Structure 1
Amino acid sequence: MLYKFAKAVVYTIFKFLFRIKIIGKKNVPKEGPVIICSNHISNYDPPVVGITCPRDIHFMAKEELFEKKGIGFLLRNLQAFPVKRGMRDRNALRNGLGLLEDGGTLGLFPEGTRSKDGQLKKGLAGAGFFAMRSNATVIPCAIIGTYERFKPLKVIYGPPIEFETLKEDKPSAQEVTDEIMENIQSLIDENKK
């Protein structure tokens, strides 16, 4: 209930402030498990992906945020779940896989942290892990803009990533993540103008 209300309110505010243009929303499947993988340039990225995606998204958020009373309560009620950064967090991995098994949508920022210069950084193996361990459709997403007031901000959802050829080579989770990152970079390059 809070999620739908917050999504409507934030959408109205952000659409006005950042002149958000959504491209490729039809690439996100209406049903079945989906992983949305986006670049990460600002603290505003999770709400922006959350309000522009046609599906309700569950994000992982760093565990420290859940320890703050107000923010922790809000995050839990906005379908986020904690992850310990810098280590293999089995609980977070189990939560993410369980969500995908139930046909949900998992939102990931494979870089693991915001890019200070806006350039796409190397992704962490976690995104590849979820892609290989689930039957989820992986959708690359690119956020292009500076989050300056009244300046346009683009959110592009690319076509599903095809892993069939890659899977034949039995890739590592990192190699799958690298493929995801290449798809995100392509979206950025194609839509910069």
Structure 2
Amino acid sequence: MNLYTFARSLVKMVLTPIYRFQTIGLEHFPKEGGVLLCANHIALLDPPVVGLTAPRPVSFMAKDELFQAPILKQLLPNIRAFPVKRGMSDREALRRGLGILKEGNVMGLFPEGTRSEDGEIKKGLAGAGFFALRSKADVIPCAIIGPYKPFKRLKVVYGKPIPMDELRERKASAEEATELIMCHIKQLIDNHR
């Protein structure tokens, strides 16, 4: 058993008795090929919850600061996370993300870049659009609908792949692609709240 599988089992064992997960839309998740998984961000627990409910292993892009903490800098790379320097164009993180998608794996990110204080969806950053346009990966929107309260239902909703071909063909901007992704996430939230 690798560390990712072990960590996933451990998280499931710890969180499942506390939160009543309801996972919706797993039938939309591609069984193979590159997947860009984009979710809203409402709490620190979002990455493990998405990793727990997604049907395939997810490599998360995470803020560089997390990789400076003594325990986390050892743990995070072993559970498929990789660092990104926020507030600047991090070429290494961009290359790494594109490589994950090109290899046919799943990369997860939170386009808002930070947690939403009020739980409402915020404007997404251009990085999500960059990966969507520069790869041939399926783009899957994901809505985490809380709040995180013990013994209350927590929904994780996976949407259908977002059609990106037209944007890719006309070389749309990363901002426009991100806006489309955020619209799909918001629609999932509105439909399942």
Give the TM-score taking structure 2 as reference length: 0.97
> How much has 1:168 moved relative to structure 2?
4.2
Q: Secondary structure at the match of 2:86?
A: coil
Corresponding residue number in structure 2 for 1:161: 162
| Structure 1 residue 13, shift from structure 2 partner | 2.1
The answer as to whether partners of 1:36 and 1:138 remain within 8 angstroms in 2 is yes
How far apart are the structure 2 equivalents of 1:84 and 1:91? 9
1:34-183 → structure 2 map (5 Å cutoff): 34-183=35-184
Where 2:182 maps in the other structure, the secondary structure is: helix
Gaps of 5+ in 1: none
Which runs of no fewer than 5 residues in structure 2 stay unpaired?
none
Partner Cα separation in structure 1 for residue 64 and residue 141 of structure 2: 25
Check whether the contact 1:23–1:154 (CA below 8 A) recurs between aligned residues. Answer: yes
Length, aligned pairs only: 192
Distance apart, 1:14 and its partner CA: 1.5
Q: Is the 8 A contact 2:141 2:160 kept in 1?
A: yes
Deviation of the 1:26 alpha carbon = 1.4
Give the secondary structure class of the aligned counterpart of 2:43: coil
TM-score by length of 1: 0.97
Is 1:31 the counterpart of 2:32? The answer is yes
Cα RMSD for the two superposed structures: 0.9
The code of the aligned residue for 1:28 comes to: F
* CA displacement 1:129-161 (0-9 Å, x = unmatched): 000000100000000011110010000000000
Deviation sequence 1:77-127 (CA, Å, 0-9, x none): 111001000000000000000111111100010000000000000000000
The runs of at least 4 aligned residues of structure 1 exceeding 6 Å deviation read: none
CA–CA distance in structure 2, aligned partners of residues 50 and 92 of structure 1: 20
Q: Is the 8 A contact 2:133 2:164 kept in 1?
A: no
d(CA) in 1 for partners of 2:78 and 2:174? 30
